Amino acid sequence: MLKSMKRLLLLTSFLLIAIGLSGCGVRYVNRQGSQEDPDTWATVSKQKKIVVGLDDSFVPMGFQTKSGKIVGYDVDLAKAVFKQYGIKVDFQPIDWSMNVTELRNGTIDLIWNGFSINPQRAKKITFSEPYLINDQVLVTKKNQHIKNFADMKGKVAGVQSGSAGAMDIDNQPKLLKDRIKGHEPILYDTFTDAFIDLNANRIQGLLIDSIYAGYYLEHQKNESSFTSIPSEFPKEQYGVGMRKGDTVLKQKIDAGLNRLAKNGELHKINMKWFGTDRDSPLMKNVQK
């Protein structure tokens, strides 16, 4: 009887504490904030740190060197934007097929890694202004004698899981999906794995961002054994992905990008990685 009364008193005490905390308005606020305060900027500016999620094999946007250092166009760009606000950028490699999930769960604050703006993604997240133009190409080995998408009939195609190219294949099946063997491409976690299979002739074509393809092939000893075939898929624009509530963060990133375009820093980054401003809409706006 005494033990039962002690248990009852203990349970009552816990309930009173819980009710008291609730009445005082005590609440836990995680990285992405609550429904009342959804914007990340206040936390980021206070902590002086922001976490960017990326596929660390996506050359030249963000990738690991042999020493393990993460470098790339987007790495330089993100650092340059947040340097203006005195904020350090931490780069977190993620499973690219789970990028939006990682963002919405608060594991990362931004997706900044050759991230194509499209309607499907825009339903779930917010994008910055576009800062780079890209399109999809089909990379094949010349010994396969594939000169256009029609030549992929009955052949095996590969694409990265969760990529814009994978979405294009599904959205416009007549261009490639309906032609390839099994009417489904092989999905890869990284383009590095896909190129291994392409070189081994396990796949005959790889749909990939032209920016990645151009940089990757230029750095291959057997560059002349590959060919890149332009696609009829629509051109894409790269943007920074953030949570829907991050209105202030978006304003800060957009303002930072435009300042880099005006002060010449963006031109330096473009020239370092691409040798041209051709595909940079921000630079075109400045030059008008």
pLDDT one digit per residue (tens) for the chain, 288 residues: 444 444 544 444 444 444 343 333 332 234 444 344 468 999 999 999 999 999 999 999 999 999 999 999 999 999 999 999 999 999 999 999 999 999 999 999 999 999 999 999 999 999 999 999 999 999 999 999 999 999 999 999 999 999 999 999 999 999 999 999 999 999 999 999 999 999 999 999 999 999 999 998 988 888 999 999 999 999 999 999 999 999 999 999 999 999 999 999 999 999 999 999 988 999 987 776
Residue 26 maps to a domain: no
Domain-terminating residue out of 194, 210, 230: 230
Task: Provide φ and ψ at 282, rounded to 5°.
Answer: -65, -40
pTM of the model: 0.81
Range of 144's domain? 136-230
From start to end of the chain, where are the E strands?
Answer: 49-54, 57-58, 62-64, 70-71, 88-93, 110-111, 126-127, 132-134, 136-141, 157-160, 186-188, 205-209, 226-230, 236-238, 241-242
Is 24 domain-assigned? no
Domain identity same for 207 and 241 = no
Q: Which of 230, 247, 274 is the last residue of a domain?
A: 230
Q: CA-based diameter of the chain, in Å? A: 87
Residue type, 125: I
Identify whether residues 222 and 156 lie together within a single domain.
Answer: yes
Same domain, 214 and 254: no
Beta carbons of 286 and 270 less than 8 angstroms apart: no
Say if 80 falls within a structural domain: yes
